Amino acid sequence: MADRTSSSITIGSGKAEIMAVIADLEAYPKWASGIRDFTVLETGPDGRAVRARLTFDGGPFSDTVGLGYTWDGDDGVRWELTEKGNVVTGLHGTYTLRETGEGTTEVTYELAVDVRVPMIGMVKRKGEKRIIDSALKGLKRHVEG
């Protein structure tokens, strides 16, 4: 899973407000297209998810997977696949937040997904890019709306 896809967006809010939205996994179906259900299975001392189950409809693929989370305060979060799905066999993602000092925050989303179905690298990266861009635009609309 060496190849990762990333993209960034600037959101008109501070890191804490944006990270609060990112950390509210169970609300993702309201603003993140393709997410059908998100269930937090275990939380850490800070109340944020340590383990969760995600069900998504990703165009030709739908799947349910288990994810493990590591939080870096309001600066970022990373997640790894802990339970494979029928289609997804590997997954690594991160959100990194950096305040720009102008009342805005740059949010970078990095994603790498491996699937059971053989796929050309370019096609896989195009799918990852579509997921990332959709998530970042949804996050921006939700935070700024």
pLDDT in tens, 81-138: 999 999 999 999 999 999 998 899 999 999 998 888 776 666 767 777 888 888 999 9
Answer yes or no: is pLDDT of 2 > 60.
no
**Paired strand residues for 72:** 76
pLDDT at 60: 65
Computed on alpha carbons and rounded to an integer, the radius of gyration of the chain in Å comes to 15
What's the predicted TM-score (pTM) here? Answer: 0.90
Sign of CA dihedral 124, 74, 9, 63: positive
Q: Rounded CA gap, 65 and 72, in Å?
A: 23
pLDDT at 139: 95
Q: How do residues 23-69 score in pLDDT, each as one tens digit?
A: 999 999 999 988 999 999 999 999 999 999 999 986 667 899 999 99
Domains of the chain: 5-144 (3.30.530.20)
Ranges of beta strands (E only) in the chain are: 5-11, 35-43, 49-58, 61-72, 76-83, 88-99, 105-115
pLDDT at 130: 81
pLDDT at 1: 45
**Which of residues 8 and 123 earns the better pLDDT score?**
8
3-state secondary structure of 38: strand
